[in-house]
Structure 1
Amino acid sequence: MFTADRRQRVRAKLLARAREDERIAGAAITGSAARGTEDRWSDIDLFFGVAEGNAVADVLGDWGAFVYRDLGAVHHFDLQAGLVTYRAFLLPGLLEIDLGFAPAADFRPLGDGEFQVVFGEAVRRQPGSANAAHLIGLAWHHLLHARTSIERGAAWQAEYWISGVRDHVLALACLRLGLPAAHAKGADELPPDVTAAVRDALVGGLYVGELDRALRAATVAFLGELRETDAELAVVLAQPLRELAAIAQRVE
């Protein structure tokens, strides 16, 4: 297992290389190190702005080769988010490096994550209201598909959708209370009265009665959070969602 000292040395080496690379217009530390919550298990999260006139794909390719050659990476995968490409590397000792690359015009915090600029200039943070609207849409979408999956006898798929609703409710609560919303990073700081309803939506088995129960609980949890986040919209969605949760009540 990697040590904290090794993690610090690897991060310093990556940032030093970024300063020397004329194609990198800005670098920032993100994740737990930027939040001041780094612990024994934290990985390395860095975000780079690629200077105008340089292709992100070319820069990423060169950096990928460097991480394999000089840092001994054993595997990686990519994640695309708009104009941003994230490449996650696994190093010996289970050290993970997550590097984000974006055009310099998009060198900015994404979502509600912390963004500690090392050099360069970040563009203005975008308002977060759209994040809540998107989560709300995903939540009712997942509730609808959970019901459809139950009716079709697709138990695993139903569990997948219900679990997604729980995730979105927790994220909405985190946004509302000013906590990190991505990947449940702020969920453990939520008050018990917020998480109690979400806990009731945990799926305890792959049989129809339990899936129905968990779906109804997820609906209650979502509407409860929605009343706090957008009371007017909660009124609009309450009836159709309650109808959806009540379809095909069954006696086992």
Structure 2
Amino acid sequence: MFSVIDRDRLRDRVLDMASSDPRVVAGAVLGSLAHDEGDRWSDVDLMFAVADGVSVTELLEAWSRNLLRELDAVQLFDLASGPITYRVFLLPGCLELDLSFVPASNFGAGGPKFRLLFGEVVEKPHASPPSASSLFGYAVHHALHARSCIERGRLWQAEYWISALRDHALALACRRRGLDGGYGRDYDRLPAAVLEPFDDALVRSVERDELRRALRIAVAGLLRESSEARDMAEKVEGQLRELAW
């Protein structure tokens, strides 16, 4: 496994690439290392601004060729979000590198985990978290599909939907308490009294009775955490209970 020294060496090498490339005009650290030292398992997450008129795609491909050749990196996947392109790499020792490039006219903090290293930023509003009604609505959808999959005998797919339902209920619990529920980031910061009832929403085997039991517990947890979507919850609570009980 990678060491903190390995991680720091990778960060410094990528920043050297940026400082020697005139097409890169600004850079920032994102994620868990943006405002503190992170921990033993933190990865490297860097964003760079590309000079206006320069192709983000061409720059990303050129950098990728260097990383694959020099550092024995493996390119895992790309993710586009508006003008930003993210590319994720795996390096030896299970060290993850997240690189993102964006035109300079759009370079700025999209959330609190952003620390400018050099260059200038464009002030822009932080991305809004999902609304309570959206989270609740998705959870209801997942509950419906979980039950239909159980009845169809598609038990592994039912497990998928029950897990998704539980995750959205926990995201609602985070939202109520001012925590970040995205990707489960703050689930472990929820009070034990909130988390413990969800233990029983974990599916222990892909058998019909077990799936029905886990679905019932997950729906109960969703309803407990639905105060911010009360109007919608009151309209569908009876149907959810009919579905799960």
TM range (shorter): 0.7 to 0.9
Paired position in structure 2 for 1:231? 230
Paired position in structure 1 for 2:207? 207
**2:125 counterpart SS class:** coil
**2:38 counterpart SS class:** coil
Paired position in structure 1 for 2:10? 10
Give the paired residue count: 244
Change (3 A) 1:213 1:108: farther
Change (3 A) 1:36 1:108: same
Change (3 A) 1:224 1:45: same
Deviations 1:29-60 (A, max 9, x none): 11211252611122111123333323322221
State the TM-score, normalized to the length of structure 2: 0.87
Paired position in structure 1 for 2:174? 174
2:27–2:47: 8 Å Cα contact kept in structure 1? yes
**2:116 counterpart SS class:** strand
Paired position in structure 2 for 1:219? 219
What pairs with 1:127-206 in structure 2 (closer than 5 Å)? 128-206=128-206
Deviations 1:114-141 (A, max 9, x none): 1222233143233525454443332122
Change (3 A) 1:233 1:49: farther
Structure 1: runs of 5 or more not aligned = 247-252
Q: Which amino acid aligns with 1:157?
A: Q
**1:216 counterpart SS class:** helix
Structure 2: runs of 5 or more not aligned = none
Further displaced range: 162-171 or 124-133 = 124-133
- Structure 1 residue 28: Cα displacement: 1.8
Percent identity between the aligned chains? Answer: 45
**2:202 counterpart SS class:** coil
Distance 2:127 2:91 in 1: 35
State the TM-score, normalized to the length of structure 1: 0.85
**1:6 counterpart SS class:** helix
2:132–2:229: 8 Å Cα contact kept in structure 1? no
